[in-house]
Structure 1
Amino acid sequence: MEYGCYVCNKIIKTGEKFTFTKEGPVHMDCFVAAERKKVPEGKAEYLRNLSMILDYELTMLVSLLSLKSEDKETSELIRRRINAIEKQAGETTGLIYNL
């Protein structure tokens, strides 16, 4: 599936870090830059920390998505980990979006 970033209007390529907000799919860097412009100065450090957390989560997600296994048990473990990290990244995205 192909997505377009609602901030820069470019296609999000396979392997790029991106997330979803109420407005749609967005590159992680575009999202953070846009939010940085809107966030009150007193929340700048919190945004910086949340951005690093989201970066770590999305880096792990991209890595896990590249893992393939013929073993059913391993494939299931990878799938569960992907789902868990997607949920965490979604929560982090929501925290940033609602700053």
Structure 2
Amino acid sequence: PMSQWQYAMNRTLPDDIYVNNVVTVDDDFHCRYDCVGKRYRYKVYQAQQRDPFQSGLKTFIPEPLDLDKMNRAAQQFIGTHDFKGFCSKKTEVESKVQT
């Protein structure tokens, strides 16, 4: 069953990568070119002193965080963007514009 694939992959992947779901796809599916999205989660914590129990799990920020500014900045990632500047000249990707 699919749940066994998920379990097996999560047992062998590094701790910072986790498989949330496994589904059956067509034989001609290409994981690079047919992917419809990726999700990244960045974890930070703000404190006066570093917490050794958070090391490797979250990024330590000693300065106060301005969540309003962070949310406004995050809005810049929404929409359609040209990622040509992030691509290698040897890339096989034809369209560097992504939503």
Give the TM interval when normalised to the shorter protein. under 0.3
* Bigger Cα Rg: 2
Q: TM-score, normalised by structure 1?
A: 0.27
Q: TM-score, normalised by structure 2?
A: 0.27
User: In proportion to residue count, which structure has more helix?
Assistant: 1
